[in-house]
Amino acid sequence: IITRGLATSAARNAIKNVTVIGGGLMGSGIAQVAAQTGHNVTLVEVNADILKKAEGSIVNSVGRVAKKMYKDDAAAAKKFLEETQSRIKGSTEPAKSVSDADLVIEAIVENMDIKHKLFKSLDEAAPAKTIFASNTSSLSIGEIASVTSRKDRFGGLHFFNPVAVMKLLEVVRIPETSEDTYQAMMAWGKAIGKTCITCKDTPGFVVNRLLVPYLAEAIRMMERGDASARDIDIAMKLGAGYPMGPIELSDYVGHDTSNSIVQGWHKKFPDNPLFKPCDSQQKLVAAGKLGVKTGEGYYKYNK
């Protein structure tokens, strides 16, 4: 009886229609993996031009995946690309885009007021069955959810860049998240091929909470002159077995991204020394040296 009960509840909550709001770096990737795994996706952007760009980048990325998956079978690769593409619909109207959504994933700019405005309007437009999730990296899921009347159907689904490649999905529960919602999010994460971990609504969840202070401490070590950037990187690669050193990794992540996360946490938790912004990183941001993406951070890169 228990097994049948669980199966029924899982079937009732099976997520098929997914609306992704925001088609930037993360939203495009989320839309891509969802469509690749057979879900109907509606991708929402602020205007038609940006939407077209997002759709173009998805097609390129799915094309690369298809080539890899079907190395010696061009026809199968073409079919995979066409089928995936046919499952993605574009929209510039958030309210209309959620009318039949089982799950809405928000991946818009990292700004609480803008996220509140969006979720308030989506809450009024979406049917009762729709689960809401945010892909925020550094904001509180509970605070984002506070403007909706469906906190029991709200959680965090935190992906990693590049979404098509990175295996992990952090599934975040707020105290109000219902067991059904949580199970549906976990099942969907598995269905799109990710390995899910669960955590509470704590700053940075698991990965960023450990990674951001680690990167900052490596930068502070360099600022103090304890060791050079290159030596710190070599040390952590050969001594701790990390694939990248912390200074090169912080160039890869982007100093604007890391710095704004740390600034946000520092403002909210001023007494936590782990969340203190780094002087040299702020200088890099002010100079536009954001890391690999701009060709220079702590190291120089050939663009």
Feature table: binding site for CoA: 61, 68, 137
Rounded to the nearest 5°, which phi and psi values hold at 39?
-90, 150
Residue from 88, 108, 122, 229 in contact with ligand NAI (CB under 6 A):
108
278 burial level (CB within 10 Å; 0-12, 13-18, 19+): buried
Q: How many whole angstroms separate alpha carbon 154 and alpha carbon 249? A: 32
26 forms part of the interface with ligand NAI (CB under 6 A): yes
Which of 13, 28, 97, 137 is flagged as catalytic? 137
Q: Is 134 a catalytic residue?
A: no
The whole-angstrom distance between residue 292's C-alpha and the CA centroid of its chain comes to 19
Q: Is 208 a catalytic residue?
A: yes
140 forms part of the interface with ligand NAI (CB under 6 A): no
In sequence order, what are the beta bridge partners of 157? 171
Q: Is 255 a catalytic residue?
A: no
Q: Is 170 a catalytic residue?
A: yes
- In angstroms, give the least distance from the CB of 1 to ligand NAI: 41
- In angstroms, give the least distance from the CB of 233 to ligand NAI: 21
Per-residue x/- marks for ligand NAI, 225-254, CB under 6 A? ------------------------------
| CB of 85 or CB of 121, closer to ligand NAI | 121
144 forms part of the interface with ligand NAI (CB under 6 A): no
181 forms part of the interface with ligand NAI (CB under 6 A): no
Contact 144, 157 (CB under 8 A): no
Contact 96, 19 (CB under 8 A): no
Number of residue whose CB is nearest ligand NAI: 24
Written as six digits, the tokens of 90 are 């574009």
Residue from 57, 85, 161, 282 in contact with ligand NAI (CB under 6 A):
161
Which of 140, 170, 248, 250 is flagged as catalytic? 170
Task: Of 100, 102, 104, give the one whose Cα is nearest residue 12.
Answer: 102
Task: Of 150, 157, 115, 156, give the one whose Cα is nearest residue 129.
Answer: 150
Residue with tokens 């959680």: 155
Rounded to the nearest 5°, which phi and psi values hold at 162?
-80, 135
Which stretches of the chain bind ligand NAI, using CB under 6 A?
A: 21-27, 44-46, 50, 94, 107-110, 114, 118, 135-137, 158-159, 161, 257
Active site residues: 137, 158, 170, 208
